């Protein structure tokens, strides 16, 4: 079937392609969509404190599907990634439904999970 890409396409990717994508994923934790916003900025957990690479996403909840009171903005937020970015030891994915924030809400949950792994399993994520 000609519509399914061949695995041979992966052979055409160079290390610089991966490096550019990973650099963008790391930057999401520092200055991009995974950084805390609003009230989240007041919390201590923050993905920029970890050596992590992430991709976030946000889906706005349609008005008729909102669960929160008073018509507040609601989003389904997701985040995928790995840490530490230079020598990955753990991969993660988080989905939070009906959040007032977007990807930054999911980043707080992942920050807490990474902190837990450091405290309880002795893992290190390059703070």
Reported as a single tens digit per residue, the pLDDT across 35-48 is 876 554 545 458 88
Instruction: Supply angle C-alpha 21, 59, 96, rounded to 5.
Output: 90
Residue 106 in tokens: 């999911």
Provide the pLDDT for residue 24.
Answer: 94
Q: How far is CA 82 from CA 6, 21, 89, 103, in A?
A: 26, 13, 7, 15
- The DSSP letter of residue 10 is G
Residues of the chain with pLDDT under 70: 1-7, 37-45, 68-71, 127
Provide the pLDDT for residue 60.
Answer: 86
pLDDT in tens, 3-24: 666 667 777 888 898 899 999 9
Whether residue 68 contacts residue 80, with contact meaning beta carbons closer than 8 Å, is answered with no
């Amino acid at each position: 079937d000609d519509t399914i890409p061949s695995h041979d396409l992966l052979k055409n990717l160079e290390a610089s392609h991966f490096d550019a994508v990973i650099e963008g994923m790391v930057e999401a934790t520092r200055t991009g969509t995974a950084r805390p916003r609003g009230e989240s900025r007041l919390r201590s957990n923050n993905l920029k404190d970890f050596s992590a690479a992430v991709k976030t996403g946000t889906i706005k909840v349609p008005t008729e599907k909102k669960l929160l009171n008073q018509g507040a903005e609601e989003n389904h937020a997701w985040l995928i990634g790995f840490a530490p970015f230079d020598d990955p030891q753990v991969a993660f994915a988080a989905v939070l439904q009906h959040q007032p924030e977007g990807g930054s809400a999911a980043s707080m949950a992942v920050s807490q999970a990474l902190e837990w792994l450091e405290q309880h399993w002795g893992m290190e994520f390059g703070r």
